[in-house]
Amino acid sequence: GAVVSQHPSRVICKSGTSVKIECRSLDFQATTMFWYRQFPKQSLMLMATSNEGSKATYEQGVEKDKFLINHASLTLSTLTVTSAHPEDSSFYICSAIGRAEQFFGPGTRLTVL
């Protein structure tokens, strides 16, 4: 079946640094990818929709200059958390649409010290 991977699975960084998270569709081409964030004991919150070759569409309240999204190819989207702060610590999950279904990656646990 379709597989979506994320790298890294876990990252710890210092406050003020930037962190890049990669999302790959492994056996299908994904023209659309989504980025979600999940805080402990809460549901997934959609951050942005990423379309290959165009600018991402951000949900209301999500800072586009802080969460940079690049979708340069049909199999790769990246999320960069710029100048990370402790409140950005969360579980980041990407998702890709393939064969009319939406598949999710395993998630990336970000901890900002």
Shortest distance (Å) from residue 79 CB to other proteins: 14
Site for other proteins contains 95 (CB under 8 A): yes
| Part of the chain binding other proteins (CB under 8 A), chosen from 14-22, 63-71, 78-86, 96-104 | 96-104
Question: In sequence order, what are the beta bridge partners of 35?
Answer: 48, 94
- Within 10 Å of residue 27's Cβ, how many Cβ atoms? 11
**Strand-strand pairing, 32-38 and 45-51:** antiparallel
Q: Does 107 bind other proteins (CB under 8 A)?
A: yes
Q: Does the footprint of other proteins cover residue 4 (CB under 8 A)?
A: yes
Q: How many residues bind other proteins (CB under 8 A)?
A: 24
Q: Which of 92, 67, 84, 75 is nearest to 32 (CA)?
A: 75
> Which residues contact other proteins (rule: CB under 8 A)?
4, 6, 31-32, 34, 36, 43-46, 49, 51, 91, 93, 95, 97, 101-107, 109
